[in-house]
Amino acid sequence: PAGLGCRFATAFRAVVAQGQVAPGEWVAVHGCGGVGLSAVMIAAAAGARVVAVDISPRALALAARFGAAVCVDVGSTLGSVAEAVADATGGGAHVSLDALGSPRTCAASIKSLRRHGRHVQVGLLPPAAGTPMIPMDRVIALELRLLGSHGMAAHDYAPMMAMVEAGSLRPDLLVTDVIGLDAVPEALSTMASGARGGVTVIEPHRPPLAGS
């Protein structure tokens, strides 16, 4: 249940209902946090070829474990992310998801698409980030589709749960750490760096670590 959460359902709707990912298509996932890693797993299970994009080596290692065919490390990539995705996919992704939610990842996702590609905005863009600059010239020239995706209603869970029951989706694998309340401050301090990767579950009644 902890692995499933709202993040997995959100990713499922973004990939399946909004992105309408088909077998054999290239799917780029920008941002491999909980939602992004879920999207990688779901797209791979749908038969797509996945390009995972992130700055965290641990997140990318998890993405590869969950089915990503190509991993793009933003910190060590020469040139732009869009160029790296285009090189990996032979001209751009059919579907690209911004699972993080920043002006930079939004633009990179759109620029990663091939002609007639679909961009799915999953990550929320906070008002503090300002109005993102959408590369509308590319949207027009390549006849791209821009789609939003927000959560998933409970009555739509049946197809997702069927795949979980069949074992083709393993949301439990997203959980990489289980900690007690005593370890929460340290876990929070490392969130910004992306060093933990995956999903951390807090068990309030878990015995404290020795020496804490």
Q: Do 77 and 62 fall within a single domain?
A: yes
The per-residue pLDDT for 211 is: 55
In a domain, 139, yes or no: yes
Q: Which DSSP string corresponds to 104-152?
A: HHHHHHHHTEEEEEEEEE-S---GGG-S----HHHHHHTT-EEEE----
Residue-by-residue pLDDT tens, the chain, 212 positions: 555 668 899 999 999 999 999 999 999 999 999 999 999 999 999 999 999 999 999 999 999 999 999 999 998 877 899 999 999 999 999 999 999 998 899 999 999 999 999 999 999 887 765 677 889 999 999 999 999 999 888 898 899 999 999 999 998 888 876 767 777 777 776 766 656 676 777 777 777 766 55
193: containing domain: 171-202
3 state DSSP class of 185: helix
Are the C-beta atoms of residues 67 and 40 closer than 8 Å to each other?
yes
What sign does the CA torsion over 38, 53, 125, 25 have?
negative
Are the C-beta atoms of residues 42 and 15 closer than 8 Å to each other?
yes
Total domains in the chain come to: 2
The model's pTM is 0.87
Nearest CA-CA partner of 45 in 146, 176, 173? 173
In a domain, 65, yes or no: yes
CATH number at residue 23: 3.40.50.720
